[in-house]
Structure 1
Amino acid sequence: MTTENNPETEELDLPRSRQANERLHALIPGGAHTYAKGDDQYPENLAPVISHGRGAHVWDIDGNRYIEYGSGLRSVSLGHAHPRVVEAVQQELHRGSNFVRPSILEVEAAERFLATVPTAEMVKFTKNGSDATTAAVRLARAVTGRPRVAVCGDHPFFSVDDWFIGTTPMSAGIPAATTELTVSFPYGDLAATEELLTRHQGEIACLILEPATHTEPSPGSRLLPRPSAGRSPQSRADPTPGYLAGLRELADRHGCVLIFDEMITGFRWSEAGAQGLYGVVPDLSTFGKALGNGFAVSALAGRRDLMEQGGLRHSGDRVFLLSTTHGAETHSLAAAMAVQTTYTQEGITARLHALGERLAAGVRDAAASMGVGDHVVVRGRASNLVFATLDENRRPSQQYRTLFLRRLLAGGVLAPSFVVSSALGDADIDRTVEVVAQACAVYRKALDAADPTPWLAGRPVKPVFRRLS
């Protein structure tokens, strides 16, 4: 099977991947190291196990090649094995990766990051986004002396740690007393946020949110309940004018810390993230994903007076901010510097936007031409596209998502989202649109039958956040 197959007539068979998935489940809880990569996120028996990748393509262990979207859960934005990043990493590997004292690369990487994100004054690196966001929350609690955390209930994920995961359906093992300290505010609704801050006057340490992004919630994936009942999910790629500035004013007036989670928006919105694009400066922000192009590196950045509370040059109580054995591995910091240089010198953010615009237009035209334009819906900023699969009543449907993913895979497109990498070429986009059109033809048949079951060939894909396996 190659990307030239017709997804309306061809079926994909993955015998080696099926065997490897069994081995994965026997040894690794969930069969993957990230729940979003689990085989339950894919049609039954159609979860390819990857052999290798280059640029915008990956190959599975059955020998099939795919055009890949959402690479590395949005982390590989330059494409796999990007030469500039690989060269930077290789130069450091033979020099040693971890020492008993800081390497000179740590200050060079910090200088490079703060030049890229000039709204921040200090930065500390770690390996994953959860550590960075949890450190931001801990710091906010320490400097305010307040216990509660207010998270944006319209955004799907902030951390694997108890303060957040306790608010999801997967809350087993987390004390209720911990979860009760996390409250929710709706994106885009300043009045509801102010009401929350007033109701918990003097208790909320921070507001934490993705400053701008769009994700389409799957059925059953709702996290914290929204304070304003009946409000529809946020569907804008950008915040409404004045919203972020309004949050800034609310945080200042109520004495809480404003935290931007820029794991997704960092680099994809601008090299300096959404804060650089919209001109609103948070107190703290977290970056990751695109920062390393697949290498493990993330960052907590922010105001000097806050960040220094986790340092040695102050006279107050010490805050255990971040202290990780592998947080400053030289090769990952070298990768981050190479990524930042590539973005700024090659205009990567603009390229991601242009590629996404071309893809979104093509997918929308293909869906409309097959009569499913109201059912296969592309949303989000061009550099961070997601798609919704709606049933005959225009409600989000895991069954229709399964049908759609199955047809894409048969056509050689691996696309849990339509998040682009800069390695995609025009031919990749054109082929993707062609496969989408063929998938939409099948989608139309299922809509006409008012039942997608005959096209599923197994159980539907499942939402990540659910109570039962």
Structure 2
Amino acid sequence: MPDRAPTFARSTDLADRLHRLVPGGAHTYARGDDQYPEGMAPVLERGLGARVWDADGNEFVEYGMGLRAITLGHAYEPVLAAVRDVLGRGVSFTRPTTLELAAAEDFVSVVTGAGMVKFAKNGSDATTAALKLARAATGRDMVAVAGQPFFSTDDWFIGSTAMNAGIPDETRRATVRFAFNDLDSVRALFARYPGRIAAVFTEATTGMVAPEPGFLEGLRELCTAEGTVLVFDEMITGFRWAPGGAQEVFGVVPDLSTWGKAMGNGFPIAALAGKRELMELGGLATDADRVFLLSTTNGPETVGLTAFRAVVEAYRTTDPVATMHRQGTRLLEGANAAIDEAGMREYLEVAGHPNCLVFLTRDGQGRPSQEFRTLFLGEMLRGGVLGQSFVISAAHTDDDVDRTIQAVADALPTYSKAIELGSTAGLFDGRPVAPALRPQAEPRRR
């Protein structure tokens, strides 16, 4: 337990000021204060390892780790040292640098199925470039995406979500969904839209759902047979499941893959990678019409590329993936043991891949519940733990994990009381949290 109960007066004031200047009060919807109990949304000032400190002086063990971007820990010194060194040599130039070549060589040495790579600054740019490349290569217009939460902020994907205001109907109709682990659902799309699907996008695995035996292999065969480009989104899996992502773990090589998040340990860098014959459509070794692929002022700036190279070196000399797996397993088993001891597993559970854990909150009927999620989030904050998930890093120590397990145990009496009452009423202040991608500001309109 923390030395004192956390208070959030200054954070709440700062959040109000943010909302007056920044739509939604944050630069990512998943970071919004509508994802936390009202009056309990910390505005952070600094982090070190797996701990963060907010504007009110509260200290928390943090999970989620920069929306899964941090695997080595906040302010990881070897990455910071490399970045400090490069700052004195310039950041952005009018010609490629030796650093760009070294970073590209590092990338293709890690992602062995990729013949070429192009760097960018955010994942959406990379995924949209992959779709553009697939459309150019196939002459087709449609894209099939797995029924997974997120691929891009751009119209082609956001138009398929509930938060689709401003997206033309024609754009929305060009994106169709299939069920992960269901090859028949993919076959049905190819049959319904013959000769029109340019690309199939999927995460090869997620924290909650691993590919069933033969699914990825079957998807690879089906895309090859249909002349469709297979794209793996490795934003989360890259450097969290393995340095070379899910394709390294499962041994299935896509045509294109997209990367970001942990490849810079929080520094902004993303990448599009893939087979040379596709990637060269955006280059000069082609007689086909050229694709305006990725052309970004800041894609090759030296700080992001240096951070990436330092991350690669950390993975060569240490084993962050194994550390995350070990600590995530300790957290999974310890938290669920406490929940089981209280007889609450029907209503509360820690679940998923050890490197990418979530907590599942259910009401008295066993249904997923935003109200019970809000209650649990508030109790965890009181216990000194911040996070919308239990996504871990290699910086989480035994003490961090033990503190988290204790916070879960301490939350159980309140959670149990709500189950007994059949309601969370009176057990937390304000309105419940709400899905980040929702069509209306309610139920958390300001």
TM-score range, shorter chain: over 0.9
* Cα root mean square deviation, aligned: 0.9
Distance 2:180 2:298 in 1: 35
Whether 1:48 aligns to 2:42 is: yes
CA-CA distance at 1:315 after TM superposition: 1.1
Whether 1:121 aligns to 2:115 is: yes
Q: What residue identity is the alignment partner of 2:103?
A: A
Return the TM-score normalized by structure 2.
0.98
Identify the residue that residue 194 of structure 1 maps to in structure 2.
187
CA-CA distance at 1:62 after TM superposition: 0.3
Contact 1:268 1:349 in 2 (8 A): yes
CA-CA distance at 1:181 after TM superposition: 0.3
Q: What residue identity is the alignment partner of 1:62?
A: D
Q: Give the 3-state SS of the residue equivalent to 2:435 in structure 1.
A: coil
Distance 1:410 1:81 in 2: 25
Identify the residue that residue 371 of structure 1 maps to in structure 2.
343
Identify the residue that residue 430 of structure 1 maps to in structure 2.
402
Q: Give the 3-state SS of the residue equivalent to 1:441 in structure 2.
A: helix
What runs of 5+ residues in structure 1 fail to find an aligned partner? 215-234
Identify the residue that residue 30 of structure 1 maps to in structure 2.
24
CA-CA distance at 1:422 after TM superposition: 0.6
Q: Give the 3-state SS of the residue equivalent to 1:207 in structure 2.
A: strand
Work out which of the residue numbers 294, 300, 306 in structure 2 matches 1:328.
300
Identify the residue that residue 348 of structure 1 maps to in structure 2.
320
Q: Give the 3-state SS of the residue equivalent to 2:426 in structure 1.
A: helix
Identify the residue that residue 400 of structure 1 maps to in structure 2.
372
Whether 1:309 aligns to 2:308 is: no
Q: Give the 3-state SS of the residue equivalent to 1:384 in structure 2.
A: coil
Q: Give the 3-state SS of the residue equivalent to 2:355 in structure 1.
A: helix
Distance 2:204 2:413 in 1: 37
Q: Give the 3-state SS of the residue equivalent to 2:237 in structure 1.
A: coil
Identify the residue that residue 293 of structure 1 maps to in structure 2.
265
Q: What residue identity is the alignment partner of 1:373?
A: R
Whether 1:389 aligns to 2:389 is: no
Distance 1:183 1:456 in 2: 40
Identify the residue that residue 19 of structure 1 maps to in structure 2.
13
Percent identity between matched residues is 53
CA-CA distance at 1:306 after TM superposition: 0.2
Work out which of the residue numbers 414, 417, 423 in structure 1 matches 2:389.
417
Deviations 1:204-241 (A, max 9, x none): 00100110003xxxxxxxxxxxxxxxxxxxx53x2111
Distance 2:302 2:34 in 1: 35
Identify the residue that residue 229 of structure 1 maps to in structure 2.
none
Equivalence map 1:56-67=2 (5 Å): 56-67=50-61
Q: What residue identity is the alignment partner of 1:311?
A: G
Work out which of the residue numbers 146, 167, 171 in structure 1 matches 2:160.
167
CA-CA distance at 1:195 after TM superposition: 1.2
Distance 2:312 2:363 in 1: 42
Deviations 1:19-75 (A, max 9, x none): 100110010011000000000000001100001001100000100000000111000
Deviations 1:219-265 (A, max 9, x none): xxxxxxxxxxxxxxxx53x2111110010011011110000000001
Work out which of the residue numbers 88, 97, 106 in structure 2 matches 1:94.
88
Distance 1:163 1:331 in 2: 30
Contact 1:78 1:421 in 2 (8 A): yes
List 4+ stretches of structure 1 deviating above 4 A: none
Deviations 1:168-205 (A, max 9, x none): 11111110110000000000001111111111110000
Q: Give the 3-state SS of the residue equivalent to 1:205 in structure 2.
A: strand
Deviations 1:326-374 (A, max 9, x none): 0011011000011111112101111111111011001111111122112
Deviations 1:297-320 (A, max 9, x none): 011000000000001111110101
Q: What residue identity is the alignment partner of 2:203?
A: E
Identify the residue that residue 232 of structure 1 maps to in structure 2.
none
Return the TM-score normalized by structure 1.
0.93
Distance 1:64 1:143 in 2: 53
Work out which of the residue numbers 241, 251, 273 in structure 1 matches 2:245.
273
CA-CA distance at 1:377 after TM superposition: 1.7
Aligned length: 441
CA-CA distance at 1:4 after TM superposition: 4.2
Q: Give the 3-state SS of the residue equivalent to 2:194 in structure 1.
A: coil
Work out which of the residue numbers 99, 112, 123 in structure 2 matches 1:105.
99
Q: What residue identity is the alignment partner of 2:47?
A: G
Whether 1:3 aligns to 2:2 is: yes
Distance 2:3 2:227 in 1: 58
Cα 1:375–1:4, aligned 2, differ >3 Å: closer, same or farther?
Answer: farther
